[in-house]
Amino acid sequence: MYQTWEELERDCLLCEKCPLREGRTQVVFGVGNRNAKVLFIGEGPGEQEDLQGKPFVGRSGQYLDKLLASVGLTREKDLYIGNIVKCRPPHNRDPLPEEQDACIDWLRAQTALIKPKIIVCLGRIAAMKIIRPDFKITKEHGVFYEKNGVLMMATLHPAALLRNPAAKPGALEDFVRLREKMEELGLVAPETFPDEPCP
């Protein structure tokens, strides 16, 4: 197991474990606050992420930042964000099970360094890998489960919300629940937010 972020990042950036290495511009390691107690997990880099080397920097990432801002959270201060696979799948297809299996140890090592109290899965793919293989995102989003002493919740993927805006208010509710849970655990100070329209 890795003792330092520097060693982990150095090795991860050189990864050759699966064929996704062939199509990548670069490995997308992760961003955010390495001392935060909340870990967000997405599926895998898209085009912008592959170009810029950071998770969730395209359109869906901008929407994610809006949802976070609605409940007074920022990625820089309150959380760390990583993906199940660190290299972009061709044409943004879902990462294959064998690609996820090849990559998951990087995320495990990141998780071991962060020691999160809360894990939030962004979308179906992350929820099925991290929470339960038969996870049903439409029914179970916003519900907290405890696994190995960590609270885990999934919300709809921001890209799915951009495709289906009718689902946005439900996702905002998930972020309100996350904020409440963080307050309950003393990770952020209690605060009330104005009832603004769902972004």
Binding site for ligand URA (CB under 6 A): 42-46, 49, 55-56, 60-61, 83, 122
Cβ 55 to ligand URA shortest distance, Å: 3
CB 41 within 8 A of CB 84: yes
Q: 41 vs 102, which CB is nearer to ligand URA?
A: 41
Cβ 92 to ligand URA shortest distance, Å: 8
Residue whose C-alpha is closest to residue 38's, from 150, 170, 173, 156: 150
CB 107 within 8 A of CB 84: yes
Q: Cα separation of 133 and 155, whole Å?
A: 16
Q: 2 vs 40, which CB is nearer to ligand URA?
A: 40
Cβ 30 to ligand URA shortest distance, Å: 9
Alpha helix stretches (DSSP H) within the chain: 5-13, 47-52, 59-70, 75-78, 97-114, 124-130, 137-140, 158-163, 168-184
Q: 42 vs 188, which CB is nearer to ligand URA?
A: 42
Residue nearest to ligand URA (CB): 42
Q: Cα separation of 30 and 10, whole Å?
A: 12
Q: 55 vs 116, which CB is nearer to ligand URA?
A: 55
Cβ 20 to ligand URA shortest distance, Å: 13
